[in-house]
Amino acid sequence: MKYSFRNDYSELCHPEIFEALIAAQKEQNSGYGLDKHSENAKKLIQEKLETNNCDIHFVTGGTQANATVISYILRPYEAVLSCESGHINVHETGAIEATGHKVYTVPGQDGKLYPIDIINALKTHTDEHMVKIGMVYISQSTEVGTVYSVSELKALYDCCKENNLYLYIDGARLSSGLAASDVEFHMLKDLCDVMYIGGTKIGLMSGEAIVIFNDQFKPYFRHHIKNKTAMLAKGFAIGIQFERAFQDNLYFEMGKHENELAHFLSNELKTLGVPLLSESPTNQIFPIFSKDQVEELKELYDFEIWGEVEDKIAIRFVTSWATTKEACIELIQDIEKIISK
């Protein structure tokens, strides 16, 4: 196999992040994230957010971040509102429900929620025989590669505040999402109550940074992290990585890099006449091939089968911080050969 375009977490971590780990190898650090690297990483993130009025906690994975945050925010009888395509609804094996909460879903559009979705959900949840909608979950970028604009996020958050709901942003692919939208990192502090900054899918060995803007959700959050089995003894291993990612613009550059390669791929595919399932501005693209073409492509590359489109098949290519232009050029050349047969 020449290369895997299956996902953006196939390689251990970005070389510069690896260097930071190597540099700290002989240090003794305090446990449980109470070390100098974690502290510094938090400060660096706060600087880029242009506020120090937020609490930051590091955990190891996205599902873990979601379950930890959602179960902290909600009261027992409350549900989280999500798009049907939301990661918490589809791909977390019931992890949110395992903490006792319903994930109430609406179809949304292109993987995104709009204020009207929130309003309709509230209209149909009118009494104590139905769950109370307590918060709204969205992803930036979404599970289908789309992004929210600043005005869309603002409209959603305003709608949440008017209705006493809390807005939580799953930033598993935040770097790519920022690079593809008009949302700047520092704006996020005014656009949600809690979010997490994804690390695993953008060049960290593992690690996500939960950022809590709303004061209401700060007390005893470390107790809650431990209660949800998400506290790492060697928390500094994540702190070191985030420290490096936010020391300069590395965190943001990685997202730009993967988007650029994805755009290159989608442009070349269009030139070749390969249809795309959707216009994705981020690092996931969804070309459509015949079954035979997919079979041939499979022998050379690894990727995900997304679904059937009439008698053809949509597949997913994901570019990552580690993907090279060369790999992309070769992929296009191979596709050209296959489709010209």
Site for its own copies in 54-93 (CB under 8 A): 60-64, 67-68, 71-72, 75-79, 90-93
Task: Tell me how far apart the alpha carbons of residues 114 and 148 are, in angstroms, rounded to a whole number.
Answer: 10
- Of residues 181-200, those binding its own copies (CB under 8 A): 200
Range in contact with its own copies (rule: CB under 8 A) among 46-54, 95-103, 150-158, 257-265: 95-103
Smallest gap, in angstroms, from Cβ of residue 218 to its own copies? 13
Smallest gap, in angstroms, from Cβ of residue 309 to its own copies? 16
Handedness of CA 150, 155, 156, 161 (dihedral sign): positive
- Under 8 Å between Cβ of 103 and 97: yes
Task: Tell me how far apart the alpha carbons of residues 80 and 192 are, in angstroms, rounded to a whole number.
Answer: 15
**Helix, strand, coil percentages for the chain (3-state, nearest 5):** 45, 20, 40
Range in contact with its own copies (rule: CB under 8 A) among 17-25, 39-47, 114-122, 176-184: 17-25
- Of residues 259-278, those binding its own copies (CB under 8 A): none
Burial of 271 (0-12, 13-18, 19+ CB in 10 A): exposed
Smallest gap, in angstroms, from Cβ of residue 176 to its own copies? 15
- Under 8 Å between Cβ of 278 and 110: yes
In the complex with its own copies, the residue whose CB is nearer, 132 or 189, is 132
Does residue 29 interact with its own copies by CB under 8 A?
A: yes
> Which residues are CB-neighbours of 7 under 8 A, at least 6 positions away?
201, 304, 318, 320
Smallest gap, in angstroms, from Cβ of residue 116 to its own copies? 17
Does residue 223 interact with its own copies by CB under 8 A?
A: yes
Does residue 246 interact with its own copies by CB under 8 A?
A: no
Q: What are phi and psi of 132, to 5 degrees?
A: -90, 130
Does residue 36 interact with its own copies by CB under 8 A?
A: no
Smallest gap, in angstroms, from Cβ of residue 234 to its own copies? 5
Task: Tell me how far apart the alpha carbons of residues 104 and 125 are, in angstroms, rounded to a whole number.
Answer: 11
Does residue 331 interact with its own copies by CB under 8 A?
A: no
Task: Tell me how far apart the alpha carbons of residues 232 and 142 are, in angstroms, rounded to a whole number.
Answer: 28
In the complex with its own copies, the residue whose CB is nearer, 17 or 49, is 17
Does residue 3 interact with its own copies by CB under 8 A?
A: yes
Range in contact with its own copies (rule: CB under 8 A) among 24-32, 112-120, 262-270, 292-300: 24-32
Q: State which of residues 222, 256, 263, 312 lies at the interface with its own copies (CB under 8 A).
A: 222
Task: Tell me how far apart the alpha carbons of residues 114 and 196 are, in angstroms, rounded to a whole number.
Answer: 20
Q: Is the peptide bond before 82 cis (omega within 30 degrees of 0)?
A: no
Does residue 290 interact with its own copies by CB under 8 A?
A: no
Of 219, 227, 225, the closest CA to residue 238 belongs to 225
Q: How big is the site for its own copies, counted in residues (CB under 8 A)? A: 76
Does residue 31 interact with its own copies by CB under 8 A?
A: yes
- Under 8 Å between Cβ of 141 and 218: no
Q: State which of residues 137, 166, 196, 236 lies at the interface with its own copies (CB under 8 A).
A: 236
Q: State which of residues 107, 123, 129, 310 lies at the interface with its own copies (CB under 8 A).
A: 129
